[in-house]
């Protein structure tokens, strides 16, 4: 299940993945303020709930690094223990172009340690995982200006938790 960004023309939705299908069983998308999308996830244990969202600029200049944050908030009202992959948490970020094709994945071809980290997230607390997209594709080439969709994936056990997409516009280079 995907939701369009507030005020932005609807992009062609990315091709659903198996992770999407799994997430759909638990997803209740709700909108917040402009430019923010959130996803309420009810974990397998039932009442446990996490709020996941991707935070990124709405527009960036071509070639500029794009700061992207995967924000995970415990809205369950009680402390939770998350099982997250990696010694340092190995979250994933994915960028899709306006045809829905994946152009960049943070963990593309990455060999990640198979350790599982037990992360305690107190009631109301937020976990922020930040990375930077250098506007290059999985093949290392600069991506063209245009509209993109960003998605976050938290590598939890047993299944990854997936955010809805966040729209991002890469502006064409200005006149020199």
Partner 1 sequence: MTWKAWRFRGWLVVGLLAVAGCQDEPGLTGPSAPEPTASVAPAGPAGAARLFARSSPEVLALPGTVFAGRDASGETLVFGVERRAVIPEVARVLRRLGVPESAYVVRVVEPIRFLASLRDEHTPTLGGVQIHFSNYLCTLGFSVDHAGGRSFITNSHCTDKQGQNSGTVYYQPTSSVNSSPIGVEAHDPSYSRSLPTCSRGKQCRYSDAARVLYESGVESLGEIAKTTNENDGSITVSGGFDIGNQDDVTTEFSGTLHKVGRATGWTSGEVDETCVNVNVFGSNIQLLCQTMVVRPEGGIAAGGDSGSPVFRRTGSSSAKLVGILWGGSSSGDYFVFSPLKNVQDELGALNATTDGGGGSDGGGGGDGGSRGRCPPGNPTHPNCG
Binding site for partner 1 (CB under 8 A): 18, 83-88, 90, 92, 107, 109-120, 153, 155, 157-158, 160
Phi and psi of 66, rounded to 5°?
-110, 110
The nearest distance, CB 115 to partner 1, in angstroms, is 4
Q: Which is nearer to partner 1, 36 or 102 (CB)?
A: 102
The nearest distance, CB 118 to partner 1, in angstroms, is 4
Q: Which is nearer to partner 1, 114 or 140 (CB)?
A: 114
Q: CA of 10: how far to CAs of 30, 84, 142, in Å?
A: 16, 32, 24
Q: Which is nearer to partner 1, 5 or 156 (CB)?
A: 156
User: Which position has the token pair 């994933």?
Assistant: 92
Phi and psi of 172, rounded to 5°?
-65, 155
Cis ω before 58 (30° cut-off from 0): no
The nearest distance, CB 162 to partner 1, in angstroms, is 12
């Amino acid at each position: 299940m995907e939701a369009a960004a507030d005020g932005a023309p609807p992009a062609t939705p990315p091709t659903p993945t198996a992770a999407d299908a799994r997430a759909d069983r638990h997803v209740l998308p709700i909108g917040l303020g402009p430019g923010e999308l959130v996803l309420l996830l009810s974990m397998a244990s039932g009442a446990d709930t996490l709020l996941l969202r991707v935070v990124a600029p709405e527009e960036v200049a071509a070639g500029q690094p794009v700061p992207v944050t995967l924000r995970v908030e415990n809205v369950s009202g009680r402390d939770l223990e998350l099982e997250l992959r990696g010694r340092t948490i190995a979250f994933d970020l994915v960028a899709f172009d306006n045809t829905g094709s994946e152009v960049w994945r943070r963990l593309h071809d990455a060999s990640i340690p198979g350790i599982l980290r037990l992360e305690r997230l107190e009631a109301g607390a937020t976990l922020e995982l930040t990375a930077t997209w250098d506007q290059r594709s999985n093949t290392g080439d600069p991506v063209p200006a245009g509209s993109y969709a960003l998605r976050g994936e938290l590598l939890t056990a047993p299944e990854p938790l997936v955010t809805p997409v966040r729209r991002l516009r890469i502006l064409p280079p200005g006149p020199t």
